[in-house]
Amino acid sequence: MLLSVENLQVQFGRLQALAGVSFSVNRGEVLGLVGESGSGKSLSAMAVMGLLPLSGGRVSGGSIHFDGTDLGSLSPKAYRKIRGGKVALVTQNPMTSLDPVVRVGQQIDQAALLHLPVDRTEAKARTLALMDRLRIPNAEMVYTLYPHQLSGGLRQRIVIAMALAGEPDLLIADEPTTALDVTVQAQIIQLLIELVQERDLGLVLITHDMGVVARTCDRVAVMYCGRIVETGPVEAIFASPRHPYTRALIGCIPRHDMAPGDLVGIPGVVPSVAAMPSGCRFHPRCAQAVSRCFTEVPPLSAAGDNHASACFLTDQPGEAS
């Protein structure tokens, strides 16, 4: 396993934001980390990157192994070598992810200079090659521009180039297309998939869009309120979703054969970290909830090959609603 997260717990002060999250990714594999805002997807990414202290959080339990190394045991300096060099991050909003006063080319160079034995000339040559690969037109010219002079799609390609410049083995893409035009979204996702195959990368694709997951991921982990509620191969998740939350998420994908008014959201809202419901955290929004769901936490239990769901009703596979 390239990345293996075991029972990860994250706390902000006394509030527990992640309550035992486990997932893993292999080389050449795309793992979709799915859930609504506030489910803990981004937090898991920040925990893997070792960047929780920036927002005042800390890992309070569990482990993160990368390529056999326990990241939790690393010194800050050693962790810094991992960031950008082994594990790289692509963030959600390309409008705010680039330093507005530094030329984009130099921002890409910086990652190579930090992690590879290259000088400035070499770094620049690599950057230009990378920009070409990411289908950035006029790479030489774009290299000298500032972020505000580029379109959203181009900026996101720069962010991806920046992530790849340090030659990482694992890419964590946190909603990489949310802020982009629909037409550009598909191109960026396509590019990421190509790169995974070309460079034998592991990719954790964080998204709330089940449509994107269906098209791109090999495996899926569905998160809700700081827990994994269902995990499995993408085919199994879509063919026989076991958790009511997964079914509800799939129900949110619009289809062309739907009648007007058929598209439904999920009733209710994600509860806040400070007021987590007891038992299964989804029970207040779940139509099938039984009395057990109010008091007991359902464990993640097998529901097929590599497929597991944290629901007492897992044994009864349901239709995607």
Binding-site string for another protein from residue 72 to residue 111, where x marks contact by CB under 8 A and - marks none: ----x---xxxxxx--xx-xxx--xxxxxxx-------xx
For the bound state, the minimum distance from the C-beta of residue 115 to another protein, rounded and expressed in Å, comes to 6
Q: Which residue's CB is nearer to another protein, number 3 or number 159?
A: 159
Site for another protein in 40-59 (CB under 8 A): 49, 51, 54
For the bound state, the minimum distance from the C-beta of residue 206 to another protein, rounded and expressed in Å, comes to 14
Site for another protein in 195-254 (CB under 8 A): none
For the bound state, the minimum distance from the C-beta of residue 5 to another protein, rounded and expressed in Å, comes to 17
For the bound state, the minimum distance from the C-beta of residue 164 to another protein, rounded and expressed in Å, comes to 11
Q: Which residue's CB is nearer to another protein, number 102 or number 141?
A: 102
Site for another protein in 291-320 (CB under 8 A): none
The phi, psi pair for 71, rounded to 5°, reads -65, -30
Q: Which residue's CB is nearer to another protein, number 13 or number 254?
A: 13
Q: Which residue's CB is nearer to another protein, number 204 or number 310?
A: 204
| Tokens of residue 257, six digits | 């054969």
Q: Which residue's CB is nearer to another protein, number 98 or number 188?
A: 98
User: In whole angstroms, what is the distance from residue 286 CA to residue 43 CA?
Assistant: 24
CA nearest neighbour of 167 among 213, 107, 108, 94: 108
For the bound state, the minimum distance from the C-beta of residue 114 to another protein, rounded and expressed in Å, comes to 5
Site for another protein in 136-155 (CB under 8 A): 146, 148
Q: Which residue's CB is nearer to another protein, number 144 or number 197?
A: 144
CA angle 49, 51, 53 (to 5 degrees): 150
Q: Which residue's CB is nearer to another protein, number 114 or number 184?
A: 114
CA nearest neighbour of 21 among 60, 77, 66: 60
Return the CA Rg of the chain: 20
Count of residues binding another protein (CB under 8 A)? Answer: 31
Q: Which residue's CB is nearer to another protein, number 88 or number 286?
A: 88
Binding-site string for another protein from residue 5 to residue 44, where x marks contact by CB under 8 A and - marks none: ----------------------------------------
Tell whether residue 115 is a contact of another protein (CB under 8 A). yes
User: In whole angstroms, what is the distance from residue 166 CA to residue 164 CA?
Assistant: 6
| Tokens of residue 14, six digits | 């006394």
| Tokens of residue 283, six digits | 């029970």
For the bound state, the minimum distance from the C-beta of residue 22 to another protein, rounded and expressed in Å, comes to 23
List contacts with another protein (CB under 8 A): 49, 51, 54, 76, 80-85, 88-89, 91-93, 96-102, 110-111, 114-115, 146, 148, 159, 162, 166
